[in-house]
Amino acid sequence: MSKKKVILGAQFPGVNNFTVWSDPAAGSQIDFSSFRHFAETVERGKLDFIFLAEGLRVREQKGRFHELDVVGRPNTLAILTALAAVTSNIGLIGTLTTTFNEPYPLARQMATLDTLSGGRAGWNVVTSPGAFTGANFRRGDHLPFAERYERAREFIDAARAIWQGGEFVVKSKHFDIVGRTDLPPSPRGGPVIAQAGDSDTGRDLAASHADLIYSRHGTLEEGQAFYRDVKGRLARHGRSENDLKILPGAAFALGDSQEEAEENLQAIRLQQVSPKNAIVFLEQVWNRDLSTYDPEGPLPQIDPEVSTPALAQGRASRVDDRLETARKWREIAEHEKLSIRQLVIKITARKQFVGTGETVAREINRYVQENAADGFVFAPHLTPTGFDEFVEKVIPHLQEWGVYRKDYSHGTLSGNLGLPRAA
Amino acid sequence: MTLDTPFHIGIGLDAGSRNFFHHETGPDGLLQRLDAAIDLITLEDRFARPDGGGLDAILFANWLGARTRHAGILAGAPVNVLEPFHVSTAIATLDYVTEGRAGLLAQTLDDEQIAAAKRATGPLNGYPADDRQSLDQDFDEAIDVIRRLWDSWEDDAVIRDPESQRFVDGAKLRYVDFKGSNFSVLGPSITPRPPQGQPIIAATVGAGNAAGGKADVDVVFLRTGLNDLPLLLKAASAVQPGLRYFADIDIDAGESKTELHWKTEAENVAARVRQWAFKGLSGIRLLPVRPERDLIPIVDHLLPALRAAGIGQTHQAKTLRERLALPAAANRYVHAA
Ligand SMILES: Cc1cc2nc3c(=O)[nH]c(=O)nc-3n(C[C@H](O)[C@H](O)[C@H](O)COP(=O)(O)O)c2cc1C
């Protein structure tokens, strides 16, 4: 059997503590030169796409702006369209919510990006409803949590109707719109659709509507289980396994030897989880002020506060069962003799590929060939140079083994990804 | 004769479905020649027009912004039918992409256009009713919010302080907490204060449309016949004296015009410009009637002829504010000690 091709996306370092700002090599998170450097680097590495996350409100902690992490980002579609002007092959995927956008303006913007980039546009569809983000928008908190995916599904259907070109008429529960577009219709029915929701409904939406999934499940076993689950849902929608690519988010740490790479990883993790950041992370579960605790000391014996609203606002992840989570963490910390900071470093670890360029490349390829993924979306820890080393040291091995392109052959994102032509 | 104060030349295009700059990208491409010869480019947005909406103008502006180095770029947006938060971050991004050459052309919509726009977006809460007064008020409010969001970060909010382990100083971020007649926006922006602090905001004012003339804008394009221009200019500048006023001039190249034609046309324009500059006009905006036909002769013949007649000297300026001789924008939330 021939080997699967590896798919690789590069996430521009985002607004969270994985992006290290305290390193002397850390550059501007907002200047265009940073985005340009990042885009040119990943295009030199022949990556499939650049990926941008989204958060439409500045994050808060205990009723104050969260100060410890990188914050401040451009408008997602605007920066991607600017990047389209200075690149020629790299895909451009932006995360955009269906809750605080409307189908006509957003579909027209996606079509604009697709036209100006020559077919390189992608949309990571997220739902992220709620009063916190709603406070920045005309419609406010207009959508019940339970209806988020219903609206998302109807939204994508509406966008696809608009992307057909010419007249569109959409009448559904959430939308009642009529109009006309004159942009050239996209050959495969519109930009590439990605999906990041993890719930059962989220996975179903991906199975029926998406071209790729950006997932949280990066380890071999979890990845394989997720892969089986989601690919297994495709037949019900008349789609084949090749129609939906599964790309977990992941990180990497490189070195000239395995030992050096492990040391580099430790140093990066300490930068990512500063003493204060460790406390803030714990506060998300305990839901109380823990600022008097020593980050290098043991976990609090006091139980989480469960009766009051969350202290942390504007984060993608939510903590469901506080008491149970706290109990589990105490157990891990006691068993492994970990301080608060060490525990947080352990708990918040994403899938990490650690080693020399060659060992990292080998692991990536193994995960793909063993169906834990079709590829990965890598988020480096430094802006804007965080991907340079990956492009120099990892990509050439994948190319040598024939599982990664040596040059672009399509110029469109769906072509890069090897998606079937018809949507 | 040369004018004493810099007199500006802009060009007005719309973001139709075609992008005439796509194929000519070399150092001598059309866009590069235009960029070198002009002070500013406006891109009108064709949101929900009956023949099709074309490209989104703000995004097209970001594409152009990355491919130009000199001209100011003002992106059109019908703010009555958009989210002010998205418009604010997108224009701030344009300002980062262009390193300070960004502006917003805030577009009003006539009755037919607003009806078509509402059919395309559906009936939604938080947007203005269809009557003129609601639309005008919402227009002013949207501009107000867009500007407040630009000021919601102080210039030095990012501190990267290892001592306190803080990337940003939260005391330098602010809720704008805007409550208008139809909507509210809390803030702060997700985008740091753009390079110009306040990118330029422009509006077009014609005989039948005064809305743009009352809003908090920096630049006004006067869209009227030549005979009515002095009156309109006088009326508008009496209400808002500190703004930069531009006269719109349609340019129709027709078929196969000669070098001599363009020389005469340039001299006619130059003669008018001298009179108008005297009366307080800051510039002209050339509107090619059919850009796919008229843009090339404008760039290659009319602009050089105007320059030869002493109009539109290219002056050195890094930002669009500087180019228009507008003062540096103070942050409304920062009070001098
Ligand atoms: C890996 C991953 C990345 C995500 N990134 C974002 C993001 O950048 N912006 C956002 O608003 N939501 C983001 N989300 C949130 C989801 O899209 C979704 O709205 C949320 O997870 C709720 O849906 P669910 O219950 O199906 O998970 C992300 C989710 C996952 C799993």
Per residue in A198-231, pLDDT tens? 889 999 999 999 999 999 999 999 999 999 999 9
Q: What is the mean pLDDT of residues B181-187?
A: 96
Q: Which fold has domain A7-257+351-422?
A: TIM Barrel (3.20.20)
CA distances (Å), origin B274, targets A28, A382, B6, B279, B284: 46, 55, 12, 9, 11
Q: Convert the pLDDT of each residue in B269-279 to its tens digit.
A: 888 888 787 77
Identify the closest residue of chain A to B126 by CA–CA distance: A138
For residue A284, the CA-to-ligand 1 centroid distance in Å is: 17
A310 lines ligand 1 (CB under 6 A): no
Nearest by CB: B97 against A32, A102, A183 = A32
Among B20, B68, B89, the strongest candidate for a mutation testing the A interface, having the largest count of A CBs within 10 A, is B89
Tokens standing for B288? 């090619």
Cα A11 to Cα A296: distance, rounded to the nearest angstrom: 31
Eight-state DSSP code of residue A181: E
Q: What is the mean pLDDT of residues A51-66?
A: 95
For residue A214, the CA-to-ligand 1 centroid distance in Å is: 9
pLDDT at A421: 59
Contact yes or no for B53 and A179 at CB 8 A: yes
Sorted by where each begins, the domain ranges of chain A are 7-257+351-422, 274-347
Identify the closest residue of chain B to A103 by CA–CA distance: B121
Domains of chain B: 8-129+199-323 (3.20.20.30)
Cβ atoms of residues B158 and B167 within 8 Å: yes
Cα B182 to Cα B141: distance, rounded to the nearest angstrom: 9
Contact yes or no for B50 and A180 at CB 8 A: yes
Q: What is the mean pLDDT of residues B167-194?
A: 97
Contact yes or no for A55 and B153 at CB 8 A: no
Q: Which of B57, B51, B50, B56 is nearest to B112 (CA)?
A: B50
Q: Which of A290, A110, A298, A312 is nearest to B59 (CA)?
A: A110
CA angle B32, B35, B37 (to 5 degrees): 110
Chain B residues lying within 8 Å of A68, measured CB to CB: 165-167
Q: Convert the pLDDT of each residue in B290-331 to its tens digit.
A: 998 889 889 988 898 888 877 876 667 899 999 999 999 999
Which residues make beta-bridge pairs with B147? none
Which residues make beta-bridge pairs with A253? A354
For residue A247, is it left (φ>0), alpha (ψ between -120 and 50) or beta? beta
Cα A352 to Cα B221: distance, rounded to the nearest angstrom: 56
Average pLDDT of chain A to the nearest whole number: 94
Residue nearest to atom 3 of ligand 1 (CA): A196
Distance of CA B72 to the CA centre of its chain: 8
Which residues 189-248 of A are in CB contact (within 8 Å) with B? none
Q: Which of B182, B189, B187, B219 is nearest to B204 (CA)?
A: B219
Give the pLDDT band of residue A422 (cuts 50, 70, 90). Answer: very low
Q: What is the mean pLDDT of residues B148-163?
A: 97
Q: What is the mean pLDDT of residues B237-264?
A: 85
pLDDT at A423: 42
Identify the closest residue of chain A to B65 by CA–CA distance: A82
A29 lines ligand 1 (CB under 6 A): no
Q: What are A26-31's contacts with CB under 8 Å, separation 24+?
A: A26/A382, A26/A383, A26/B160, A27/A382, A27/A383, A27/A384, A27/A385, A28/A383, A28/A384, A29/A70, A29/A71, A29/A72, A29/A73, A29/A383, A30/A72, A30/A73, A30/A74, A30/B96, A30/B191, A30/B192, A31/B96
pLDDT at B206: 85
Cβ atoms of residues A248 and A351 within 8 Å: yes
Contact yes or no for A138 and B188 at CB 8 A: no
Q: Which of A412, A408, A354, A369 is nearest to A46 (CA)?
A: A408
Identify the closest residue of chain A to B20 by CA–CA distance: A116
Eight-state DSSP code of residue B204: E
Contact yes or no for A138 and B17 at CB 8 A: no
Nearest by CB: A138 against B83, B96, B170 = B83
Least confident of B39-53, B94-108, B195-209: B195-209
Contacts of A201 (CB under 8 A, 6+ apart): A149
Q: Which of A395, A281, A390, A253 is nearest to A342 (CA)?
A: A281
Average pLDDT of chain B to the nearest whole number: 91
Please, is A334 exposed, middle or buried when counting C-beta atoms within 10 Å of its C-beta (0-12, 13-18, 19+)?
A: exposed
Give the pLDDT band of residue B211 (cuts 50, 70, 90). Answer: low
Least confident of A180-184, A338-342, B164-168, B267-271: B267-271
What is the greatest pairwise CA distance in chain A?
65
For residue A202, the CA-to-ligand 1 centroid distance in Å is: 9
Cβ atoms of residues B113 and B48 within 8 Å: yes
Cβ atoms of residues A409 and A39 within 8 Å: no
Backbone angles phi, psi at A131, to 5 degrees: -70, -30
pLDDT at A309: 79
CA distances (Å), origin A182, targets A179, A211, B30, B46, B48: 10, 25, 24, 11, 10
Nearest by CB: B94 against A78, A138, A182 = A78
Residue nearest to atom 11 of ligand 1 (CA): A128
Cα A159 to Cα A175: distance, rounded to the nearest angstrom: 11
Question: For the complex shown, is ipTM > 0.85?
Answer: yes
Cα A17 to Cα A36: distance, rounded to the nearest angstrom: 22
Least confident of A4-8, A264-268, A407-411: A407-411
State which amino acid sits at residue B39. Answer: D
A199 lines ligand 1 (CB under 6 A): yes
Chain A residues lying within 8 Å of B81, measured CB to CB: 105
Contact yes or no for B52 and A182 at CB 8 A: yes
Give the pLDDT band of residue A314 (cuts 50, 70, 90). Answer: confident
Residue A74 at interface with chain B, using a CB cutoff of 8 Å: yes
Cβ atoms of residues A8 and A404 within 8 Å: yes
pLDDT surpasses 80 at A1: no
Cα B58 to Cα A78: distance, rounded to the nearest angstrom: 7
Nearest by CB: A82 against B47, B66, B188 = B66
Please, is A29 exposed, middle or buried when counting C-beta atoms within 10 Å of its C-beta (0-12, 13-18, 19+)?
A: buried
Least confident of B33-47, B73-87, B232-246: B232-246
Cα B40 to Cα B101: distance, rounded to the nearest angstrom: 9
pLDDT at B258: 76
The number of the ligand 1 atom at minimal distance from the alpha carbon of A14 is: 8
pLDDT surpasses 90 at A116: yes
Chain B residues lying within 8 Å of A65, measured CB to CB: 168, 170, 173, 188
Q: What is the mean pLDDT of residues B184-203?
A: 98
Peptide bond into A105 cis (omega under 30): no
Residue A104 at interface with chain B, using a CB cutoff of 8 Å: yes
Contact yes or no for B124 and A138 at CB 8 A: yes
Cα A158 to Cα A170: distance, rounded to the nearest angstrom: 6
The minimum CA-CA distance between A162 and chain B, rounded to whole Å, is 10
Cα B105 to Cα B204: distance, rounded to the nearest angstrom: 8
State which amino acid sits at residue A18. Answer: F
Which residues make beta-bridge pairs with A52? A94
The minimum CA-CA distance between A399 and chain B, rounded to whole Å, is 31
Which residues make beta-bridge pairs with B213? none
Cα B227 to Cα B104: distance, rounded to the nearest angstrom: 28
User: In sequence order, what DSSP letters do the residues of B245-262 get, joined into one string?
Assistant: EEEEEEE---SS--HHHH
Give the pLDDT band of residue A67 (cuts 50, 70, 90). Answer: very high
Residue nearest to atom 14 of ligand 1 (CA): A316
For residue B232, the CA-to-ligand 1 centroid distance in Å is: 52
pTM: 0.96
CA angle A344, A349, A350 (to 5 degrees): 150
Residue recorded with tokens 């070399």 = B26
Backbone angles phi, psi at B76, to 5 degrees: -80, 145
Calculate what percentage of chain B has a pLDDT beyond 70. 93
Identify the closest residue of chain B to A87 by CA–CA distance: B66
pLDDT at A316: 61
Q: Which of B102, B95, B116 is nearest to B40 (CA)?
A: B102
CA angle A305, A308, A309 (to 5 degrees): 120
The minimum CA-CA distance between A66 and chain B, rounded to whole Å, is 7
Cα A115 to Cα A122: distance, rounded to the nearest angstrom: 12
Q: What is the mean pLDDT of residues A343-353?
A: 92
Cα B246 to Cα B286: distance, rounded to the nearest angstrom: 10
Nearest by CB: B165 against A82, A140, A276 = A276
A202 lines ligand 1 (CB under 6 A): yes
pLDDT surpasses 50 at A81: yes
A94 lines ligand 1 (CB under 6 A): no
pLDDT at B1: 43
CA angle A377, A156, A144 (to 5 degrees): 95
The number of the ligand 1 atom at minimal distance from the alpha carbon of A203 is: 26
Tokens standing for A412? 């469109």
Which residues 47-66 of A are in CB contact (within 8 Å) with B? 55-58, 64-66
A340 lines ligand 1 (CB under 6 A): no
Identify the closest residue of chain A to B173 by CA–CA distance: A65
Pocket test for ligand 1, best of A19, A198, A247 (most atoms within 8 A of CB): A198
Q: Which of A25, A209, A40, A230 is nearest to A127 (CA)?
A: A209
